Structure 1
């Protein structure tokens, strides 16, 4: 099989409609929603007022002009969005249970007969995302979530709150700028002050990076140390012999880079590429 289809049960959809949908969302997310079209989905983040991570979002325009928001924890996100709704003429609808989200990549990907298809706006290597009515069966073999996790980990891509701590994570440390989730020319949005200060002062000292794992499995959140015993990061998601780790960039000041978590050796590298 030259392609992979993976259900993402932790993701679901919210529908956003109404004449004020663009102005409503523009002041809430990190990317410029004016760029959205049926041919151009958008990746963005929703932050708290202190500029820390709450949700990552794929925003998709349907053929009838409504928007779909692909997200985690739809119920919690809806509560937060409704706090900012005020007099905006928009309608927010939780579609959880009505649609399933799939990650799809590889060669000779078959056509989807019922549902919506977008190219993943983060990296071409991530392929596509399918939004399929829940009562529609996929007449093709499905791969487990671990297959998608390994694919994205090797590319250096996190997966929402599975890799970014909610209410604590700084998204620039988690490569959201490299993944096209930021627009530095748009107007104000919640959490913009921290993003702008960090970006323009060049204050990124840590990054989420892929690591090769040599030895026993490393638990999520395990501290990582350099050869001198200094703590330089912590482990995030992993599959078999590869994982993601939040690491100080100073670990690359000397070569070769070899780190440890317990008795396990970790070898990081820079993986992200655009286009």
Structure 2
């Protein structure tokens, strides 16, 4: 299976006796579900509930030092390290930025990686994303020779958002970035940073803006970041695109109004339609239950 080095990903190590409890108290996901057999997906938020950085959480075997590795956006690594150190206080935790020594690789087409690729784990967001691995940076080129565009085309086709491309760090709520649909938020665990805001959005159903997969006319792609509109009114913004498909952060109530009025949804002169993947549980515009929990 072709493998690709994701050069836009960084790695942070969280180790020490209190590593699991430390993360449990501040990140959005349930750390008790992160085991050697199963990675997790979560985020660190501002107190106002905005995403500082999202990441995959991978447990490290004790014989390799234990603790956890955060497979995170490279551009957010410094900010994540700063915030983690801020919340460390007296916890018996060591934080290390492994950006100079570790690399993240991923399956190009959603399959498995060689077992000797490094610390291999299934992407917890969606089985169709396949496996990833954290490996030594120096030898990564021997394992992964594919181009990142191939990975992102696969991700876009599945409807999986990517921070920095499909939503802005420091500006988006977890619901907008679909963390609630991809197992990235636990609504049963105790408090975490920003929990009050996120829980309120969940229980009141006030997440009006969502990233949704879209399909463009004639199989063409608009420019990334172009505004989406209908009937002369803005709907939101298109993020990453590939092969005539894309991800767009849209006000779904405005999309529903536009469709009811017979307007064409447009992005950069290209008509588009919404396409609902199987993992999304909230109702789309046009579905009978839309408006109750969109």
The TM-score, its normalising length taken from structure 1, stands at 0.91
Q: Distance in 2 between matches of 1:184 and 1:162?
A: 26
Question: Equivalences for 1:66-145 in 2 at 5 Å?
Answer: 66-72=67-73, 73-104=76-107, 106=109, 109-139=112-142, 142-145=145-148
Aligned to 1:235: 238
Q: CA deviation at 1:272?
A: 4.4
The reply to whether residue 35 of structure 1 matches residue 37 of structure 2 is no
- The 1:247–1:107 alpha-carbon spacing in structure 2 relative to 1, beyond 3 Å, is closer
Aligned to 1:264: 270
Q: Distance in 2 between matches of 1:107 and 1:261?
A: 29
Indicate the structure with greater helix content. 2
Alpha-carbon deviations, 1:129-165, whole Å to 9, x = none? 1111112245466321111111111111111232221
Q: Distance in 2 between matches of 1:68 and 1:5?
A: 20
- The 1:110–1:46 alpha-carbon spacing in structure 2 relative to 1, beyond 3 Å, is closer
Q: Distance in 2 between matches of 1:193 and 1:161?
A: 25
- The 1:208–1:167 alpha-carbon spacing in structure 2 relative to 1, beyond 3 Å, is same
- The 1:43–1:174 alpha-carbon spacing in structure 2 relative to 1, beyond 3 Å, is same
Task: Identify the match of residue 58 of structure 2 among 57, 60, 84.
Answer: 60
Which segment is superposed worse, 7-16 or 237-246? 237-246
The TM-score, its normalising length taken from structure 2, stands at 0.85
Residues 105, 125 of structure 1: 8 Å contact kept: no
Alpha-carbon deviations, 1:7-40, whole Å to 9, x = none? 1111121111111112211121111112221112
Q: CA deviation at 1:108?
A: 6.6
The reply to whether residue 220 of structure 1 matches residue 224 of structure 2 is yes
How many residues align structurally? 271
Which segment is superposed worse, 159-168 or 55-64? 159-168
* Aligned residues: CA RMSD: 2.2
Q: Distance in 2 between matches of 1:12 and 1:195?
A: 26
Task: Identify the match of residue 14 of structure 2 among 4, 13, 16.
Answer: 16
- The 1:107–1:201 alpha-carbon spacing in structure 2 relative to 1, beyond 3 Å, is closer
Q: CA deviation at 1:70?
A: 0.9
Q: CA deviation at 1:111?
A: 1.9
Q: Distance in 1 between matches of 2:110 and 2:7?
A: 24
Structure 2 gaps, min length 5: 281-294
- The 1:81–1:260 alpha-carbon spacing in structure 2 relative to 1, beyond 3 Å, is same
Q: CA deviation at 1:252?
A: 4.6
